[in-house]
Structure formats: C-alpha cells, structure tokens
C-alpha cells in the first residue's frame, strides 16, 4: 500500500515536471477527434520545396550576367577611346600638313623676297656706278642772271596741259625710240589688236620721207603720244652745248607741228638723261627745257634691243617684263628698222603686264616722270 502511494506520488511529480518544462499534456480523446476533422477540412499550406539543381547556380548566373555587362561596357568605352584616338591622330595629321604647307609658302615668299633684294642690290650697285660717273660732271645752278640761250627760240615752249596728274595704281607705259620706220606700222597693228596706247619718241631725220610723215600722222590719229627724241640723234652735236641741244630739238618740234598739227610736250634725251656725252651740260639742259614747260622721261625697264644684231624675241620680252613689281613702269624699246624681233616680242610683253594687273597707257605731262638718278639742283 505504501508502495502504491509512493508510485502515485512519483507519477504526480513527473507530470508536474513535464508541465513546468512546457510539455503539454495529451488532450482528451474528444478534443483530438475535433482537431483531426479541422485539419482534414483545412489542410495547412504546403511550403514549396526548393528547385532541384538550381539553388547554387542562380547567383553564379547573375554574376556572369553582371560581368558580361561590365565587359560590354568596357569594350564600348575602349571603342570610343580608340575612335577618339583616331580622330585626334587625323586632326594632328591635318594640322601637321597645314603647318608644312605654311612653311613651304613662307619659304617661297622668302625666296621671292631674296630675289627682290638681289634685284634691289643690283640697282644700288648701278646707282653707285652712276654716282661715280656723276662725280665727273660740273653741276650748274640756274640761279643768277638768265643765260643767253634763254632768249633763243621764243616760240619753243610746251603746250599747256589741262589734264589731271596721274598717281597710284599699277601702270605700264610702253615707249618706242628712234622711229618712225616700217616696224612702226607693225607695232601700231599689235597695239590696235590689244587696245593698248603707247608713246613714240621720234627722230626727225627718220621722218623726213613721205612714209615717215604718214606714220607720224597715224600715231597721232590712233591716240598714241608723239614725243621728241631729237632731230639728228647725233650725240656730239646734241650735247655740244645747251644751244646745240635747243637748236636740234627745236627743229623737230617745228617739224612735228608742220606734219601733224600738234605741238609735243614730252621729250627723251638720246641715250638717256645721263650718258657719257652730256657731262657738263645735262643739268643746264634739264633746267632750260623744264623752264620752257617740257617734261622728259627716262625708263626703269628696257628691252635691251639697242644692239648691233637683233636679240631673240623671248629674250627681249623677258627683259621688258622685269619691271613687274614696280607701281609705275616705263619700258624702253626701239622701233627702228633693225628691230623686227622687238615687234615679235610685243604681244608677250603686253600680256605679261596685263596678267600682272597693269594698265597700259600713253605718257602725258600728268604722269609722274621716271628719271635716272642724279644730284638735284639746289
């Protein structure tokens, strides 16, 4: 009995211990039946089982996708950088080509400048030579009493000039000395074909014939300038004295008026204003002719055709075109009988100056004279 009570007591303690440990006592049988029915009528939602074989690979796929996207972006960036590099290389190439062209242009310009400097140096050398020649001359001032020759030929004065003074612009004046001759006719034909006016410094001795007179009238009729180059072209006679010069030129002055009805206003010294024959008198001649209103012209470009034997036409034209670069050019050529190649060179000379932007006109008193360098009268 005592043993049964003790067993019952132990069972009670064990049950108490289980309740304290949170272990629920088995519900009654009727409650269990109700719970089963409820579970049968409302079964609990099943938790989906993880997909077989996918769990470990999904993160790897996402990583690979991210790496692919990053790689594509990197490739695109590299492509852009490569294109930018190509564009930069092309731009640098273009700039380098432009710099090389600019350098070539500068070298060409320097070559032209060097050529011009060489030409200027040659002119300076020639000027020094001229100055050396001038040291042999006696410079005479017109101050004081008028010289006796001032009273000679009281009707030997240039006609009044009513035109305007010309300045500025690129102008070329073709001049022909020592005519008229049969070459004058050919020259007039070329000038007419190109619509160009020129100046003829005639020699009276060459115009004594009927043909010479007709050529002088044609020169005037076709709008060219007819000017004086002496009657005789005899240096010893013309430059023997101021009186000798006035006598010779006055005779031509009167003859031109007799044949053409015009009085000339322009003249050119035989051999130019400074030569080896007029030492001691050239300054007085200039002063006296200037006082009488006449204007003389030398030249700053020459055909170099006053030679014993005719020069080739291409050589003559090349010398004539050396005046290109100056604003005002007076070209010396000759139309005497032995100068046929000068006529042949004329078209190239006209075209050369026109292509360089020059207008070709006849001289007149309003044109700024071109003179050889000499000490001016003070």
Token pair recorded at residue 325: 């670069």
* CA dihedral sign, ordered 47, 53, 59, 62: negative
Which of 347, 350, 370, 346 shows the shortest CA–CA distance to 361?
350
69: pLDDT strictly greater than 50: yes
Mean pLDDT (the chain) is 83
Number of H helices, E strands in the chain: 10, 8
Mean of the pLDDT values across residues 146-171?
93
Distant-in-sequence, close-in-space partners of 348: CB < 8 Å, separation ≥ 6: 313, 314, 317, 321
For 91, residues 6+ apart whose C-beta sits below 8 A from its C-beta are none
Q: 246-266 pLDDT, tens per residue?
A: 999 999 999 999 999 999 999
Q: Regarding predicted confidence, which is higher, 304 or 130?
A: 304
- Residues shown for the chain: 378
State residue 66's pLDDT score. Answer: 82
Q: How many CB atoms lie within 10 A of CB 20?
A: 8
Confidence of residue 34 (pLDDT cuts 50, 70, 90): low
The conformational region for residue 293 under phi > 0 = left, psi -120 to 50 = alpha, else beta, is left
> Which position has the token pair 């242009």?
105
Which superfamily, per CATH, for 170-360?
Glycoside hydrolase/deacetylase (3.20.20.370)
Long-range residue pairs from 185-191, CB within 8 A, at least 24 positions apart, any chain? 185/215, 185/218, 186/340, 186/343, 187/335, 187/343, 187/346, 188/218, 188/219, 188/222, 188/224, 190/343, 190/346, 190/347, 190/350, 191/222, 191/224, 191/346
Which pLDDT band holds residue 300 (cuts at 50, 70, 90)?
very high
Continuous segment of H or E residues that includes residue 9: helix 2-20
Query: Which residues, 6+ apart, have CB-to-CB distance to 211 below 8 Å?
Result: 180, 182
How far is C-alpha 20 from the geometric centre of its chain's CA atoms?
117
d(CA 74, CA 68): 10
What's the pLDDT score for residue 50? 52
- Plot region of 230 (φ>0 → left; ψ -120 to 50 → alpha; else → beta): left
């Amino acid at each position: 009995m005592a043993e049964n009570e003790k067993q019952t007591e132990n069972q009670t303690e064990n049950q108490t211990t289980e309740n304290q440990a949170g272990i629920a006592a088995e519900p009654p049988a009727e409650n269990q039946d109700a719970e089963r029915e409820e579970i049968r009528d409302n079964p609990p939602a099943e938790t989906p089982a993880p997909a077989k074989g996918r769990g470990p690979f999904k993160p790897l796929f996402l990583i690979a996708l991210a790496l692919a996207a990053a790689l594509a972006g990197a490739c695109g960036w590299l492509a852009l950088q490569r294109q930018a590099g190509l564009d930069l290389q092309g731009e640098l190439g273009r700039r380098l080509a432009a710099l090389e062209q600019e350098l070539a242009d500068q070298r060409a310009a320097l070559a032209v400048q060097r050529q011009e400097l060489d030409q200027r140096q040659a002119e300076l050398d020639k000027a020094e030579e001229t100055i050396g020649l001038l040291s042999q001359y006696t410079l005479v001032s017109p101050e004081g009493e008028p010289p006796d020759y001032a009273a000679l030929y009281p009707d030997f004065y240039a006609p009044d000039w009513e035109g305007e003074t010309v300045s500025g612009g690129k102008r070329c004046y073709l001049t022909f000395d020592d005519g008229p001759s049969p070459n004058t006719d050919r020259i007039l034909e070329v000038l007419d074909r190109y619509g160009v006016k020129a100046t003829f410094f005639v020699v009276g001795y060459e115009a004594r014939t009927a043909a010479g007179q007709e050529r002088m009238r044609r020169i005037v009729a076709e709008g060219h300038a007819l000017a004086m180059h002496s009657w005789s072209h005899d240096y010893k006679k013309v430059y023997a004295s101021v009186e000798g010069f006035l006598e010779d030129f006055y005779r031509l002055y009167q003859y031109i008026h007799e044949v053409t009805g015009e009085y000339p206003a322009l003249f050119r010294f035989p051999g130019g204003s400074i030569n080896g024959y007029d030492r001691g008198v050239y300054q007085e001649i200039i002063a006296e002719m200037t006082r009488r209103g006449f204007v003389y012209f030398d030249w700053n470009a020459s055909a170099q055709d006053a030679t014993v034997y005719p020069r080739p036409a291409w050589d003559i034209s090349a010398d004539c075109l050396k005046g290109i670069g100056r604003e005002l050019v007076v070209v010396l050529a000759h139309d005497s009988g032995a100068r046929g190649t000068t006529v042949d060179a004329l078209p190239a000379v006209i075209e050369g100056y026109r292509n360089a932007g020059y207008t070709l006109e006849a001289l007149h008193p309003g044109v700024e004279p071109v003179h050889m360098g000499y000490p001016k009268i003070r």
